[in-house]
Structure 1
């Protein structure tokens, strides 16, 4: 087991290194960068002093160096200019668009994104699994057809439209402020219990909006998997021997039906980060999605690169968690010798 973990950690490190190279070179593919474009605009406007300052920043951050050297300095495998350290040393880089360190730009957005996405994951599973089990046990009933209709509606409803509708009614019925993840008076305030309660109150709408499509899809997939397992011989035999329906369902078919969802853990959080960008824009959510979109548009390479690496790290960590959970959940899966 120790050799397995060590092998997986080495594999994860190599994977992240490859992803970092791909991310960096793709960001650098379009001609120019934020500072180069800014220098061109300043020169066109005749602002010589500002152009000199921008050129100084280019030399300070080594943007005039070869691309491969910029990449190694960004990762932290090569000494950067002016003692600039990279990701491996805990330096996330500098945002040229905001003229601040990446860590300061992201601020609370990083962990607020995690809170929102974890809340959405809990919501999706807490709602979808019981409904799917009930629907599978009552196949072709009126409730089963209602669940199927809900699934189609959930998949077809535009998330931004649902967000606008829920925002209006939450404000009209409960007085919840529109937009953001807490009331405006808490925007720059330190974290206190009232601010936490405001956050929990404002999480309701984005959690429902972001999670609705995933909930509907999970209900349909879980129902189909359960129906497939309920038709297999081991379940029929267990029922014929007198095992109670609930126990027979939860002990075998339910665990087997969970396998695809456990395997998807590695992709779930990154999909929520990328898939919630439109909702975040509509609802003015302080998450990393809008920041990433802006950084990619302006070619703010260090800011965009770190956010993409953050998503990649979520993916590889999620893959490891899913592998371990699958080995525990399904006795047919065994860890091979490495």
Structure 2
């Protein structure tokens, strides 16, 4: 049997490992960084990722290359990053689906809490209930009264999307009914709503803000606990007779589990600085996003709250996907 190492030797080994980790963090990044985006170019996730990537490249002194890996509701990108080397050179743009998908798909190749380390929550925003202007409903109460009297159609960006699940929560709370019409993204759903082929759509606020401002759509309520600065006249669902109703959409940066904490800390500080730049803040506000920021623990808390929340909602919605 080998003898246990003396205490001094153990201390020396620990200090040596710490020095190696510190040297690695100081040398990082030594090549281009991949920023993996789980959606196709366009929409609201991709432009924000490219904006942050451009500023990160300037501050880190290495290219930050945005890679779009769409498919399976984001699972392709999530699994790719979960399996990547935790060396700080592969990062993920995460969003609501990271927390929702384990409840939505029978199998996913990652654990949203165990396989990632949060860096920062970049933005948050509301889900928005919008209707075609010709629908005789100007408030949530009037919309729900219509839903209880006759069939309505309500579109979403897709089965199991946060818009679909927010609508399902509303249906259950209000005792209303409508036909859910899933689309492949918010854009096609909005186009059909503007054309009058749908009665309503539930989707992320930035996707519809300009249409509401232009009068092409009527906004009835937001899903957050406070009104959205981008559309301050639009009440919350909690104000509209559904106390406690809250669904918040988010985006954030994550890295593979095991990434050096010093790298995480630097990425957090750099991204927080970028979010505070007047140019960036103005672009986010114009789209309807609210900068989030905060320490990595804030995004960890968001995931810890969201992951156990969705299985029951997915079950009620019948939105299980293959």
Q: Scaled by the length of structure 1, what TM-score is found?
A: 0.25
Q: By percentage of residues, which structure has more helix?
A: 1
Q: By percentage of residues, which structure has more strand?
A: 2
Q: Scaled by the length of structure 2, what TM-score is found?
A: 0.26
